[in-house]
Structures are given as structure tokens and as C-alpha cells.
Structure 1
Amino acid sequence: MTAPGPGLRPFSIKAKLGTLVVVSVFITTGLLMVALRTRTELRFITVFSVIATLLITQFVAHGLTAPLDEMRAVARSISHGDYTRRVNGAGRRDELGDLAQTINLMADDLAAVDRHRKELVANVSHELRTPIAALRAVLENVVDGVSSADPETMRTALKQTERLGRLVETLLDLSRLDNGVVTLKAGRFEVWPYLSGVLKEANLAAAHRRLSSGSGNHSRTDVHLHLDVSPPELTAHADAERLHQVVANLIDNAVKHSPPHGRVTVLARRGPQPESLLLEVLDEGPGIPESERHRVFERFNRGEVASPHGPGSDGGTGLGLAIARWAVDLHGGRIGVAESARGCRIRVTLPGIPQPRG
């Protein structure tokens, strides 16, 4: 909605009140002239003038107070948690119409926030319930003597504990996202050694999870990670910690959707601006349907793509890509699903060094 300018609008409240004053003056003047010509007593003219002015004022006032009463009722419903009601006067071409549109937009925003809050509580409860139930079952079996506290049992318990830890870390990142408390600490760095470190950490994390939990499919140590940086001396300007979140989450998502013994490629190229960066993460999985591409970066979205490595795999929390988008947005960059002949290609562009304006 475009904000009205400082000038007087033809249908504004000021214009209506001004018209009311002008009409009242004309009526009074006209009646006074009639009185002078017909020699009517002034008191009758005064009574007629007052009655006419009151009738016109009542007509104008009703057009102003009726929508205000409706807005008050809608605002009261919103304050009680009912975000379904809307003000009907949003089509008016005056200040009350602007106010009605603002109240309706506020109700839409509050309804979206309330819906996201309920989804967050439901999804977090679901994510916490699974590892807690598994951990409880393992410990109850040990306490009841059903199973012994052997290394395999302890590895199972450790697996669920680590899953809880990862979920808590992800939720903390999500809390920082909502609170807007994260500031960028951008600096110049060499891309090749930086991304090599991220890929090495991803391999070590997968190996550690496999050792601590047995031979589960979720570890995906069979997927090969490949790095392609050109030119090799490429440098970029970004927040290293936030960029780590982006790359790590994109790699994690690509690995989960890769076929057995698949390949995930992290590609880095120079962007159009000084120290800007173009990143792509490619996998050989089933890809993302075009109808789902606008939703993959939403929170708790797992999409409708079947996992290529069979049942029992860890589909994740559905927060990784949402956090990646948040970190990219902090940089003022862009992230999206690019066209790919095979698998999925996520493309990230970071603007590099901010350019002076003017």
C-alpha cells in the first residue's frame, strides 16, 4: 500500500470536515438572506440553521464513527487471539480506509506468527520425543536388567544424546534468527583452505557418528565430497562462522539425499563484485520438484522427495536449509535452487565488500 502524500486528498477526513463547515456557513448565510428579504424573525432563522447544521453533522459523523466502532471491535478480537476477523472499510479512500488496511495487515501478520508458533511447538515436540523415547527405552532396559550396559548399548544411548545435542544447537541458531541478535564479523579469507576445512569437518563428523552409533545409514560415509575452487587463489569477504553454517548445512542436506556411493560437489567461483563469491553444492540425488522449490527453505520442511538410500535414514529436522537462508540473508546475498540436469543444485551468491554509495 502506498502511503498518502502530505497534500489534501479529495476524500480525506479533513476535506469532509472542511466541506461540512462550508455547507453550514452557506446554509446559515442563505437563511439569513431569506430572513432579511421576508422580514422573518431572527430566532426562527437561528433555529432552522442549528437544526440543518446538526442534521448535516450527524450524517458526516456517522460515516466517521461507524468504521471506528468496527475497528475497535476487530482490535478487541485480535487482542483476545482471534485473528480471523477483518475490517470491512479497507476500500475507503480516506484516512479511515488506510487505518482499516493497516489493521487487516496486522491481523494477517499476527495470524502467520501464531500459525508458525504452533507449527514450531508441534515440530519441536515431535523432534524431541523420538530421541528421548529411544534413550529412555535403552536406559530402562539397562536398569531392569533386560540388557547389559555393554559398549553397543552405550553407543545407542550416546547416539540419541548426540541427536538431542544437535537439535538443541539448531534451535539455538533458530532463536538467534528470530531475535535478530547476530551481527556479522566479515573479513577477507582464502576460499580453498577455508572450504577444505569445512569438508574435512563434515567427513570427520560422519565418521564419528558412525563409530558412536554403529553402522547406521544416517552416517553416510559412503558419499564422496569433492571441492572445486577456481581460481585456486580465490578470496572472498564474508563472515566465516556464518558461511560455515551455510556450507555445512548444504553439504549435510546433499549427503542425506545422495544415492549410495554418490558424489557431492562444492563449487566456488569469483562473483561479479570485488571479493564476492558464487557457491554451488551439487548432489546426485533425486532432485527437488519445481513445485517444491519455493518451500525447501522453510522451517521444518522436509519436502516430498523420497530418500534414495532407503528407509531408516535420518531425514533431519528440516531446519538446515532455513538456517542457511538466514545466514545468506545476513550477508545480503541470495540462495536458491538452480536448474540441474541431475540431482539438486543449490546456488549461493554473496555480495563481498559493500560498495560505497554515490
Structure 2
Amino acid sequence: MRLKYQLFITLLLGSGLLIALMYAFNSWSFNRGFLGYINKTEVQKLQPMIDELASGFESAGNWDWITSDMGRWLELVNRHLASGRPPKSRDDRSPGGRRLPPPDIPIDGQIDNRRRNGSGSGRSLSTLTVDPRLLLADSGQSILIGRNRQRENPADEGITWLPIRTDDRLHGYLGYRNLQQLPGQLDQVFAAQQKRSFAYAAMSMIILSALLALALAARIVRPLQTVNSAVNKIGQGNYKHRIASERGDEIGDLSRNINRLASTLDRNLSARQQWLAEISHELRTPVAVLQGELEALLDGVNPIDEDAIKSLHSESLRLARLIDDLHSLTISDIGALNYRFEPLELATIIAGRCHRDTALASGQSISLEVHLPDTPIFVRGDRQRLEQLVDNLLQNSLRYTDSGGIISIRLESHQSDAVITWEDTAPGVTDEQLPQLFDSLYRTETSRNRETGGTGLGLTIVRKIVEAHEGEITASHSALGGLRVQIKMPLESTRSI
């Protein structure tokens, strides 16, 4: 299923469920509130009856005056409650237009007839009441008058007990059984109308929610479709394609990340093409020299002597060195360069490699100044690769430092890092050349003499080794007049040695 429809269905279901809950709650709340209002209205009508009951009790001193004469109770209830209730319908009236009393009310002289004739055997007059919801109880809440009084529970929560008192003297209670459903037809019609109104409103809200959900889903999916189209174009190799988005939300972040990815892929493609062009150029040059010298020997232009053989050997060594550097750099780029990390004392490695090349530096009238600390400095590294790092830096300085110059090497610890500072004298590099020194096959213009220049990969390999040791390397101008290279590597804790 498409994302647009998934969002639409999710939003519609969520809003529909919320609207249904609101409808159910409003219906329940209205029914309860309306029924409570009717019950409170009925209770307020009973206050005059309570006052008359209190007055009768004060006069008689007990409840016998009414419990022994149910006609008085019926007349009292009918006068204070039933007489104020409008007829429910035309069916409640007699053919002559006279309102009929409730079913339990004896008509006219039926009370006296029942007393005389004993009608209603098995049902005494004391159990009759004008309204089965009304009860009379004494001060101890023992029910005196009420329908099925043997079954009434004074603690019933559905009964509202209204105290009958004179001043501070409690005489008894008038009980009112709360309505559990709407009593009149008009009340029920009104409640049904309200429910229909709630239902129409809920249906209208669901339809509106569906329209809003559809519009919102389309609005969310539209930029995603643009992103998807851009990803397809980038996947087909069009790394120049960009997404124009100024959004400040997550979709905008995604668009900008895809643009950065496309830029990175474009740069990598350009770098790969440039890399292949430079590699072919670098390999073609020594091969062309070898081919030219061999052809000269074959044609008899140059004699086959020791000098010719030495020249061929020198070119083959230069070609082998270039191939070795390319191999090291390539396997480092793909992560296949093996490292065996162990705690190493860095000063020992630097001193050993510098001592080996002291004679070579002296032959070029270059002084090696090595400043090592008295306290051992340990790093976690690969001995062979760190020795290669020192060798490459030495070869770079010896190759590009004028005769009579100085190469200064300093090792020290700073906070949690081991710091190697490598400096040499003139010639230096320009500000524009500094950021490119660690690029593959890069050589400054002054070093393009292939008799003295290198492969252009030495500092690149140094950078790869430093990065593999979780360090960082920077190049800057040296106070001695040449190049300054600073390397930082994390110190190895002595507790892990």
C-alpha cells in the first residue's frame, strides 16, 4: 500500500476513534445530566410536602396519624406532587376530560369501599402509594410507608432521603427513588433529538476529518516523491542533481543530506578519474624512460656498459618504489592494510629510524636534531607502520631540504596525546600548497625533478597511517623556513601495558 493511503487511513482511524469517543461521552453525559436535572426538579417539589409532614408529626407526636390512615397519605402526595405534574398525553384523561389518577390511587370513594368490602385481598391498604418512588421512614430510617416496604433497603444509593425536621429535631425521612430513565414522552423525544444532533455533528466531523487527512497525507508525501525522484537520478549516475528545499523539518534535513551525498559522490568520481589519469601518467614516465634506454642499446646508440646497466637499474627501482607506494595506498584506502596494535614506546622507534639515516643526512650536509623526552611515551600502534611513517617523513625532508639545512624532530606529551613535531629548513611551501600536501601524487613545482623528487605518495601514506592510529596530522610553515608537520596520537594508558 502506498504511503499516502497508509497516512490517510491512519489519520482517519485516529480522528474517527476520537470522534466516536466524544460522541459516546457526550451522549452519556447528556443523559446523565438531563436525568439528574429532572430528579432534582422532582425533589424540589417535595419541600412543601416535607413541611406539612413535619407539622403533622409535631401535632400528633408520632407517625400514626398518617400510617393508620392511608387516605390522608394519598391525598397529601397527590396534592403536593401528582397535582403539579402535567398529563403525559391525551390518553391520561378520562372521556369527560378529567385527568385520571395514577394506577395505584383509589378513585373517589374506592378507599372506603376497599375498607368496607376488603377488596384487594392479600394487599393491604397500607402498601398503596400515589407514586412508587415515594417512601416514608422514621428517624431510624425504618420504612413506614412505601411500595413493597419489606424489600426496601434504606442504604440504597438510588434513593434520595430528605430529612423531616422541626428546628433541630429530626422526625423522619421522605424518600425519593431517583428516576433511572426519562419518564415523559416529551422528555424522551427531546433526548432523542439531542442524540440525533450529536450523531449528525459526529458524521460531519468524520467527513471533514477524512478530507483533512487526505490533504495532509498528500502534503506529506509530495516532498517525499521529490526526494525519491532525486535519489533515482543520483542512483543512475547523475551526481550533479540537487534537491531545491528550504524546509526546516526532517524532510528538509533528508534533502540536504542527499545533496551532500550527491556532492560527495561527485567529488569521489572526479577524484577517481583524476587518480586514474595521474596513475597512468606516473607509470608511463618510468616505463617510457626504460623503453627509450633499451631501444638506444638495441640500436647501438648507447654502448652496453656498466653505466647503462646502472641507469636501467635505477629506473626499475624508481618504478618499483612507485608501484609499492601505490599498492600501500590502495590497500589502505580499501581497509585491507593490516595493523597489529600493541603498546609501543614511541621515542625508541623515532631514535632507531633517525640513527639509521644519520649517514645519509650527513652526506647531504643536513643536520638531524632529535629531541626526545626522558620519560617514556607509550602509544598503541603498529611498529612496522610507525617505522614507515618516520621513514617517509625523513625521506620527504631529506629530499626537499637544501644542503646545509636542518631537520628538527621533537617528541613530547600534551594532556592525553603524544605529539611529534617535524620541521625542516628551506625551501618551504606556499599557503596554497599546504592543504594539498597530503593529497595523492601531489608534488610542489620545485620537486618535479624525477632524479630527486619522490612519487608524491609519501605524505599521503603518512596521513593514512596517522588516521589508522586515531590521530591527526597538520602541516604549516616552519619557523626554520621550511615545512612543519605536527602529529598527535592518543597516549596508551600505562595500566594496560
TM-score for the superposition, normalised by structure 2: 0.54
Pick the aligned partner of 1:102 from 257, 264, 274. 257
For 1:286 and 1:23, the matched residues in 2 are separated by 78
SS at match of 2:425: coil
Give the one of 235, 247, 262 matched to 2:390.
247
Cα 1:202/1:78, change in 2 over 3 Å: farther
What corresponds to 2:461 in structure 1? 323
Alignment partners' CA distance in 1, 2:423 and 2:14: 71
Out of 37, 42, 67, the position equivalent to 2:223 is 67
Which residue among 15, 18, 30 is the counterpart of 1:22?
15
2:239 match: secondary structure: coil
Q: Secondary structure at the match of 2:414?
A: coil
Quick check: 1:297–1:325 contact (8 Å CA) kept in 2? yes
Q: Does 2:372 correspond to 1:230? A: yes
Q: Which amino acid aligns with 2:469?
A: H
Code of the residue aligned with 2:465 in structure 1: it is: A
Q: 1:93 and 2:267 equivalent?
A: no
**Amino acid of the residue matched to residue 392 of structure 2?**
N
Q: Is residue 122 of structure 1 aligned with residue 277 of structure 2? A: yes
1:347 aligns with 2:340: no
User: Among residues 260, 283, 286, which one is paired with 2:424 in the alignment?
Assistant: 283
> 2:397–2:407: 8 Å Cα contact kept in structure 1?
no
Match of 2:437 among 296, 300, 315: 296
Write the distance in 1 (CA, Å) between the matches of 2:449 and 2:467.
Answer: 34
Q: Residues of 2 paired with 1:77 and 1:355: CA distance?
A: 53
311-320 vs 339-348, which deviates more? Answer: 311-320
Aligned length: 320
2:396 maps to a residue whose letter is: N
Q: Which has the larger radius of gyration?
A: 2
Equivalents in 1 of 2:421, 2:459: separation in Å?
14
Tell whether the 8 Å contact from 1:236 to 1:352 is kept in structure 2 after alignment: yes
CA RMSD of aligned residues (A): 4.0
Can you give the 5+ residue segments of structure 1 that lack an aligned partner in the other structure? 1-12, 208-219
Ranked by relative contact order (alpha carbons within 8 Å, sequence separation 6 or more), the top structure is: 1
CA deviation vs aligned residue, 1:198-221 (integer Å, no higher than 9, x gap): 2354467x69xxxxxxxxxxxx95
Q: Deviations over 1:287-309 (max 9, x none)?
A: 233343333222233246x35xx
Specify the SS of the correspondent of 1:126: helix
Correspondence for 1:163 among 297, 300, 318: 318
> What is the deviation of 1:355?
7.3
Secondary structure of 2:435's partner?
A: coil
> Is the 8 Å Cα contact of residues 408 and 424 (structure 2) preserved in structure 1?
no
The aligned counterpart of 1:212 is none
SS where residue 407 of structure 2 aligns? strand
Deviation at 1:132, TM superposition (A): 0.9
Structure 2 CA distance for aligned equivalents of residues 22 and 83 of structure 1: 43
Distance of 2:327 and 2:353 partners within structure 1: 21
Asked if the contact 2:371/2:410 (under 8 Å) is kept, the reply is: yes
Letter in 2 for 1:270: E
Structure 2 residue identity aligned to 1:299: S
| Residue 294 (structure 2) pairs with residue 139 (structure 1) | yes
- Which residue is equivalent to 1:215? none
Structure 1 residue 26: Cα displacement: 6.0
Q: Deviations over 1:18-46 (max 9, x none)?
A: 5994399669x89xx9xx67x89x99x96
Tell me by how many angstroms 1:176 deviates. Answer: 2.7
How has the CA–CA distance of structure 1 residues 250 and 353 changed in structure 2, closer, same or farther, with 3 Å as cutoff?
Answer: same
- Give the AA of the match of 2:484: R
Q: Counterpart amino acid of 1:229?
A: H
Deviations 1:327-356 (A, max 9, x none): 122223332235532222222233331478
Taking a change above 3 Å as real, the CA distance of residues 69 and 124 of structure 1, as seen in their structure-2 partners, is: same
Which residues in structure 2 correspond to 1:161-310 (within 5 Å)? 161-181=316-336, 182-189=338-345, 191=347, 194-202=349-357, 221-231=363-373, 234=376, 236-237=378-379, 238-259=381-402, 261-272=403-414, 277-303=418-444, 306-307=446-447
Once residues 202 and 167 of structure 1 are traced to their aligned partners in structure 2, the CA distance between those partners, rounded to angstroms, is: 21
Matches within 5 A, 1:32-51: none
- Residue pair 1:296, 1:321 contacting (<8 A) in 2 also: yes
**CA offsets per residue over residues 211-266 of structure 1, 9 Å max, x none?**
xxxxxxxxx9524241423346755444321221221111222122212x233424
Aligned residue number for residue 9 of structure 1: none
Residue type of the alignment partner of 1:285: A
Looking at structure 2, the residues matched to 233 and 57 of structure 1 have their Cα atoms a distance apart, in angstroms, of 71
- Aligned residue for 1:217? none
Amino acid paired to 2:309:
M
TM-superposed deviation, 1:280: 2.7
Query: Aligned equivalents of 1:191 and 1:51: distance in 2?
Result: 79
The partner residue of 2:304 within 149, 174, 180 is: 149
Q: Tell me the distance in 2 between the aligned counterparts of 1:339 and 1:121.
A: 31
Distance 1:92 1:19 in 2: 26
Q: 1:279 to 1:25 in 2, by over 3 A?
A: closer
* Structure 2 Cα separation of the partners of residues 140 and 224 of structure 1: 39
Deviation, structure 1 residue 83:
0.9
Q: Which amino acid aligns with 1:64?
A: I
Matched with 2:70 is none
1-structure distance, mates of 2:17, 2:257: 33
Residue aligning to 1:3: none
CA distance in 2, matches of 1:24, 1:92: 31
By how many angstroms is 1:133 displaced? 0.9
Q: Which moved more, 1:118-127 or 1:82-91?
A: 82-91
Query: Partner of 2:485: helix, strand, or coil?
Result: strand
2:377–2:491 contact (8 Å) kept in structure 1: no
Q: Is the 8 Å Cα contact of residues 20 and 57 (structure 1) preserved in structure 2? A: no
The alpha-carbon distance between structure 1 residues 350 and 72, as it changes in their structure 2 partners (threshold 3 A), is: closer
